[in-house]
Copies of this chain bind each other. A is one copy, B any other.
Amino acid sequence: MKIICSKSDLSTGVNIALKAVPVRTTMPILECIILKATPNHEIRLIANDMEIGIETVVKGMVMESGTVALDAKVFSDMVRKLPDNDVNIEVDESYRVSITCEKAHFNLLGRSAEEFPGLPAVERERQIVLSQLTLKDLIRQTVFSISDNESNRVMTGELFEINGDGLRVVSLDGHRISIRRTQLKEEYPNSRVIVPGKTLIEISKILSGEADSDVVISFTGKHILFEMDGTLVVSRLIEGDYYKIDQMLSSDYETKLTVNKRDLLNCIDRATLLIRESEKKPIILTIQEGQMELKINTMIGSMKEDLDIEMEGRDIMIGFNPKFLMDALRVIDDETVTLYLFNPKAPCFIKDAEESYIYLILPVNISAAV
């Protein structure tokens, strides 16, 4: 193999591939990145941790095709530290790798890529297209409420549900549900798949966040494939049935209130500094006559703060895990938020008028805390 590419293109590609290199593995070959130069002049980097596989194209010239497996850590560190110029890579039949950039000259021992497990083939039948920005936002705005409890696999993923031209993304962890909806550019056949949270976190690091470049998502019963900017990410899907969340959603309420999002978030954030890690103290909201009082009482001390609100309906006092409120508020990009409450034991809904987002949060029993 003999190729030339720029340090910056190579570095970008290696950083993408690294996201599928496992931290720990019993299969040493998975600690490698595969460098592949094809006879039709494409340079590809491939990595696979058996859950997620990534293949990405690097611009460059192929003088001689070939394939080699390179230790991902050594190769990525090296590429990062090369001078910002053209990089020459040559590999002989014994997988001796020689890398030259300006006057720097490295020799490494690579290995055969034979044992490396290829990426699963995914038929591109069921496909949807959305902008990279939209997908990145959808993930950011829901991924915090997946569960990290591996004993319930379904909860460690997110539901991607396609219904005509609507895409709904759902995550839940037993205490809260996060739902985001977006409109697709065209109609697609209805589908429901459960995508592992880990995949979404890695994908969201690769997505450029640009509104005018697209990502194409294909899925079969077992796999999901994301394609964007010359990069291809394949992941297993989580098998099983997702929760029937529609029956958990209700539009009944007794109290509706609107409040400035930043003020509410900052106030709860201040309250949490009175909580030591081991303590589970609720923040108590007393909603009365157009005012909301937030208060917290812990071993360290107490805090009380009033916020101006607009309200409809009955007065109420209700307690929440402050972290759950903050997680939801942080990913809502609106200036004000509206909360719908029913009674001190029923979930609180934070949602906008179009229900482009719904955050359901279960309250905490405060009879003891008051």
Contacts and interface: CB of A to CB of B under 8 A. Distances in A.
A333 to B, nearest CB: 22
Nearest to A80: B273
Interface string A108-119: 110000000000
A49 B104 CA distance: 49
Contacts of A305: 103-105
Contact of A302 (B82, B83, B107): B107
Contacts of A306: 103
Interface in A298-343: 300-307
Contact of A307 (B83, B103, B267): B103
Interface in A239-266: 266
A270 interface: yes
Given A77-B273, A270-B81, A107 B301 contact: yes
Given A83-B266, A266-B83, A303 B273 contact: no
A326 to B, nearest CB: 12
Interface of A: 71, 74, 77-78, 81-83, 97, 103-109, 266-267, 269-270, 273-274, 300-307
A196 to B, nearest CB: 32
Nearest to A102: B305
A99 to B, nearest CB: 9
A300 B108 contact: yes
Contacts of A270: 78, 81-82, 104, 106
A258 to B, nearest CB: 18
A90 to B, nearest CB: 14
A74 B106 contact: no
27 contacts: A71-B300, A74-B273, A74-B274, A74-B300, A74-B301, A77-B273, A78-B270, A81-B266, A81-B269, A81-B270, A81-B273, A103-B306, A104-B267, A104-B270, A104-B303, A104-B304, A105-B303, A105-B304, A106-B270, A106-B274, A106-B301, A106-B302, A106-B303, A107-B301, A107-B302, A108-B300, A108-B301
Contacts of A267: 104
Nearest to A270: B81
A96 to B, nearest CB: 9
A276 to B, nearest CB: 9
Contacts of A300: 71, 74, 108
Contacts of A273: 74, 77-78, 81
Contacts of A269: 81
Contacts of A82: 270
Contacts of A302: 106-107
A109 B300 CA distance: 7
A105 to B, nearest CB: 5
A4 to B, nearest CB: 19
Given A74-B273, A81-B270, A107-B303, 8 more contacts: A78-B270, A78-B273, A81-B269, A103-B306, A103-B307, A104-B303, A106-B270, A107-B301
Closest 5 CB pairs of A and B: A108-B301, A77-B273, A104-B305, A107-B302, A81-B270
A266 B84 CA distance: 12
Contacts of A303: 104-107
Contacts of A77: 273
A39 to B, nearest CB: 28
A306 B103 CA distance: 6
